Amino acid sequence: MRQDKPGVLLVNLGTPDAPTTPAVKRYLKQFLSDPRVVDTPRWLWWPLLNGAILPIRSPRVSKLYASVWMEEGSPLMVYSKRQRDALAARVDMPVALGMSYGNPSLESALDSLMAQGVTRLIVLPLYPQFSCSTVGAVWDGITRVFSGYRSLPSVDFIRDYAEHPAYIAALKASVERSFATHGKPDLLVMSFHGIPQRFADQGDDYPQRCYDTAEALKTSLGLTSQNALLTFQSRFGREPWLMPYTDETMKALPAKGIKHVQIMSPGFSADCLETLEEISEQNREFFLHAGGSKFEYIPALNDDALHIDMMVELVNGRR
C-alpha cells in the first residue's frame, strides 16, 4: 500500500548569485526570457534583450544589488532561507526552497523532495496576490520539471493568500510597530509590484487581489482612503502599467499637504532590490526632494514570527 508523505515547496522569484555584472546578466536573461514576464514575440524580443537591454542594464543593476547586499548574501535569498528553516522547524515534513529564476532552482528543490519520498506536494508560492507573471510562472516551472518524471506526486497548489487572516494580522502588526516608533503618518502608502495593464485586461485578477489585501489591512487598522493609499511600483517598458504609479505619487504628495509618509510593499514576502533600493532609497529621494519632511519604509514580513505562523497555518491547512 502506498504510504502518504507530504512535503512543502516554498517558491520565490529569485536573485543573482552575486552582485556582479556577469551574475546579474545571467539572472536577468533567464527572468526576462520567460513569456510569463515578457510576452513580446521571441523574434522581436530576443535581439532587443540580448543586443541592448542586457548589456546596458546588467552593469547598472549589479551596482544596485551591491548597495543592498548583505554579509550573508542577497537579501531575498537570506530571508527566504530563514523562512524555509523556520517553517521546517514547525512542520513535521520536508521543506525545500526553489526559485523561479536563478538558484536554488525549482528542479533542485523538487528533486530533493522527491528523493525524500514525498508523495503529496504542498506548493506555497510566496506571492500573497496571484498574478500570471509570478504564480503562473511557478505553475509552469513545476510542470516542466515533472515532465521528466515517471511517477508524480499529488499536488496541492496554494494559489494565493491575499486576504488570509494570519497574513493581514502580520501586516497589521508591522504597521503598528512602525506607527509606534515613528508616529502616525499623514498617509500610509501600500505599494504593490505592478504589471502591464494589458495583463489585467486579458483576465489576470492581480489588481483585484491587491485591492483585497489593501482593503482588509485598512479595515484592520481603522484607516480610510483619506490616510491610506494603494499604488503600483517597478514598471518596465513603455506600455501602460497598473496605476497609480508609486514614484509619480511620491513626487506629487507634498504639494497636496502630505509631509509625512510611511510606505510598505505588502506584495513582497521578503525584502529585495525592489523594496530596499527602489522604495526605501529612490522613492524616499522623490518624496523629500518634492518637499516632504518624513519618510519611513516599513520592512517586508521576512522571517517575522507572525509571518512564519501564517505559513504554518497555510501548510497545516493542506495536510
Q: What is the domain-level CATH number for residue 235?
A: 3.40.50.1400
Angle in degrees, CA 94, 270, 60, rounded to 5: 125
On whether both 118 and 213 belong to a single domain, the answer is no
Residues 204 and 279 in one domain: yes
Give yes or no: residues 155 and 191 share one domain. no
Asked if residue 143 and residue 64 are part of one domain, the reply reads yes
pLDDT the model gives residue 319 = 82
Residues 6+ apart with CB under 8 A from 61: 24, 28, 273
200 shares a domain with 96:
no
Residue 151 shares a structural domain with residue 123: yes
Please give the tally of structural domains in the chain. Answer: 2
Q: How far apart are CA 296 and CA 182, in angstroms?
A: 8
In a domain, residue 268? The reply is yes
Q: Is residue 104 part of a domain?
A: yes
pLDDT at site 3:
80
Per residue, the 3-state secondary structure of the chain, as one string, reads: CCCCCEEEEEEECCCCCCCCHHHHHHHHHHHHCCCCCCCCCHHHHHHHHHHHHHHHHHHHHHHHHHHHCECCECHHHHHHHHHHHHHHCCCCCCEEEEECCCCCEHHHHHHHHHHCCCCEEEEEECCCCCCCCCHHHHHHHHHHHHCCCCCCCEEEECCCCCCCHHHHHHHHHHHHHHHHHHCCCCEEEEEEECCEHHHHHCCCCHHHHHHHHHHHHHHHHCCCCCCEEEEEECCCCCCCECCCEHHHHHHHCHHHCCCEEEEECCCCCCCCHHHHHHHHHHHHHHHHHCCCCEEEEECCCCCCHHHHHHHHHHHHCCC
Residue 237: the pLDDT is 87
Based on the domain organization, do 207 and 147 belong to the same domain? no
CA distances from 197 to 2, 38, 85 (A): 47, 13, 37
Q: How do the pLDDT tens digits run along the chain, 319 residues long?
A: 678 899 999 999 999 999 999 999 999 999 999 999 999 999 999 999 999 999 999 999 999 999 999 999 999 999 999 999 999 999 999 999 999 999 999 999 999 999 999 999 999 999 999 999 999 999 999 999 999 999 999 999 999 999 999 999 999 999 999 999 999 999 999 999 999 999 999 999 999 999 999 999 999 999 999 999 999 999 988 899 999 999 999 999 999 999 999 999 999 999 999 999 999 999 999 999 999 999 999 999 999 999 999 999 999 999 8
250 and 137 housed in the same domain = no
Could you tell me if 37 and 154 lie in one domain?
A: yes
pLDDT in tens, 241-284: 999 999 999 999 999 999 999 999 999 999 999 999 999 999 99
* Domain limits for position 39: 6-161+306-316
Residues 257, 186: one domain?
Answer: yes
284 and 179 part of one domain: yes
In a domain, 187, yes or no: yes
Structural domain contains residue 1:
no
In a shared domain, residues 130 and 29: yes
